[in-house]
Amino acid sequence: MGRILLPLVVIGVVVVLGTFGYMYIEGMRFLDALYMTVITISTVGFGEVKPLSDAGRIWTMLLILVGWGSISVLITRVFSVIVEREFTQILRLRRKKMKTLKDHYIVCGFGRMGRKAAEYLKRSDKDFVVVDTDKGRVQAALDMGYMAVEGDATEEDTLKKAGIEKARGLAALLDSDHANLYVVLNAKSLNPKLFVVASAFTEKGGKLIEKAGADRVILPFEWAGVRIGRALVQPVVSEFLDVYQMRVEEILLKEGSPFIGRSLRELDLSRRYGVYVIAILRGNEVMLPPNPDIPLREGDILLVVGKTDNLRKVEGLAESEDAGG
C-alpha cells in the first residue's frame, strides 16, 4: 500500500501547488485555478479558463511534466499491486493443492526433456510437480500453469516439498547421470513403491541408475535413433501414429473400478469408444491376446491403444461409478 500512497501524496501536492500557482500568477479565483490544474495534469485537452500569460504557460508545462509523470507512476504501481496480488493468490492456491496431492508425478529437471514430459502429463490430465534449481525454469513452469518447486532434486528436503511420499511416479531428467543417480537413490529411499523413470547419457551410467532402483532407464539419443530408423523403414506406420495421434497406454484397475468382474466382450470398448485392449497384465502373467470372456480383476493392467481423447474417456470410465451397459 505504501507504493501507492507515495504517488498519491505527490499528486495531491501537485494539485495544491498548481492551484495556488494559477491564483498567484494569473489572478484566478480558487475554483478556476483548481479546474485548470486538474485538466492540465490529466491532459484531457479542455479549453483554458482564460488566455494565459507567458509565465502561466511555463507553469502549465511544468504541471504537465510533473503531474502526468506522477499519474503514470500511480497507474503503474496500481496495476503492479493488482498483478502481484493475483499472482500471490495463484501461488497460494498451488501450494495448497500441492499439500493435498496424491498419486501425482514429479518431473525433476525442466530442460527440453522435462518440458516434453510435462506437456505429456498435462495432455493426459495428470497432476504433477516440476522441480528445478534454475529460478528462470521454475518461473517458466509457473507461467505455463504448472506446479513447481525451486530446489535441488538430489536433496531429500526438495523431494519432500514436491510430495514424494504420496507421489505415484517420478522422472529424473537432470543434466548428468551422476545427478540422476542421486535423485533415484533419494526418491526410492523416501518412497520405495514409487515408479521411477530416469534418463541416462551413457550405457554405463544407465546401468548404475538401474542398479540404484530406477524402474525404467531411457537413453535419449538411442531412443531418438530408433525412432528415426523406424521413420525411415516404416514411414507409413510412423505417419499414421503421429497424424492420428494413436497411443498405447496402461489402465490400472483399482479397488472399486466398475470394470472389475466384467469381461472385455461385455464392456465392448472397441465399438463404443474406438479403444482396443491389446493385452492384460495380471501379476507376472501376460495375456496376449487377451481372452475377451474372462472377468477382469482388481490389479489388472490393461494395455490399450487408441486416440488420445478416447483413451482419456476410457481411463475416466474405469475410475467412475458407472461403466455403462
173-178 average pLDDT score: 93
Q: How confident is the model at residue 244 (pLDDT cuts 50, 70, 90)?
A: low
Q: Which of 76, 70, 170, 71 is nearest to 117 (CA)?
A: 170
Is residue 288 very low, low, confident or very high in pLDDT (cuts 50, 70, 90)? confident
pLDDT at 325: 47
pLDDT of residue 2: 58
- pLDDT grade for 57, boundaries at 50, 70 and 90: confident
Q: What is the pLDDT of residue 245?
A: 66
pLDDT > 50? residue 201 = yes
pLDDT reported for residue 28: 87
Supply the pLDDT for residue 60.
Answer: 79
- CA-nearest of 191, 195, 186, 192 to 215 is 195
Residue 91 clears pLDDT 50, i.e. is over it: yes
The burial of 204, by beta-carbon neighbours within 10 Å (0-12 exposed, 13-18 middle, 19 or more buried), is given as exposed
**pLDDT at residue 70 above 70?**
yes
Neighbours of 94 (CB within 10 A): 16
**In the prediction, which pLDDT does 85 show?**
67
Cα 155 to Cα 164: distance, rounded to the nearest angstrom? 12
Percent of the chain with pLDDT over 70: 84
Q: Which residue has the higher pLDDT, 6 or 299?
A: 299
Pairing assessment for the beta strands 195-199 and 147-150 based on DSSP bridges: unpaired
Grid cell of 72 as nine digits = 503514470
pLDDT band at 4 (very low <50, low <70, confident <90, very high): low
3-state secondary structure 59-97: HHHHHHHHHHHHHHHHHHHHHHHHHHHHHHHHHHHHHHH
Provide CB contacts within 8 A for 129, sequence distance 6+: 98, 101, 104, 105, 106, 107, 146, 147, 148, 149, 162, 163
Percent of the residues in the chain that have a pLDDT greater than 90, as a whole number: 35
pLDDT at 78 over 60: yes
Please indicate whether residue 238 or residue 18 has the higher confidence score (pLDDT).
18
- At residue 124, the pLDDT reads 81
Q: What is the mean pLDDT of residues 185-209?
A: 93
Residue 236: pLDDT band with limits 50, 70, 90: confident
pLDDT at 255: 86
pLDDT band at 94 (very low <50, low <70, confident <90, very high): low
Residue 221 has pLDDT above 80, yes or no: no
Residue bearing the bigger pLDDT, 224 or 89: 224
Higher pLDDT among residues 166 and 57, named by residue: 166
pLDDT at 222: 74
Give the pLDDT of residue 266: 92
Show the CA angle centred on residue 323, arms to residues 317 and 324, nearest 5°: 125
pLDDT for 242 equals 66
Give the residue from 230, 289, 214, 280 showing the smallest Cα distance to 253: 280
- Given a cut of 80, is residue 184 above it in pLDDT? yes
Residue bearing cell 543417480: 181
Q: Which domains does the chain have, with CATH numbers?
A: 2-96 (1.10.287.70), 101-225 (3.40.50.720), 246-319 (3.30.70.1450)
Residue 6: count of CB within 10 angstroms of its CB: 13
Average pLDDT over residues 291-312: 88
Residue 216: strand pairing partners: 197
Q: Is the pLDDT of residue 63 over 60?
A: yes
Nearest to 267 by CA among 309, 300, 308, 245: 300
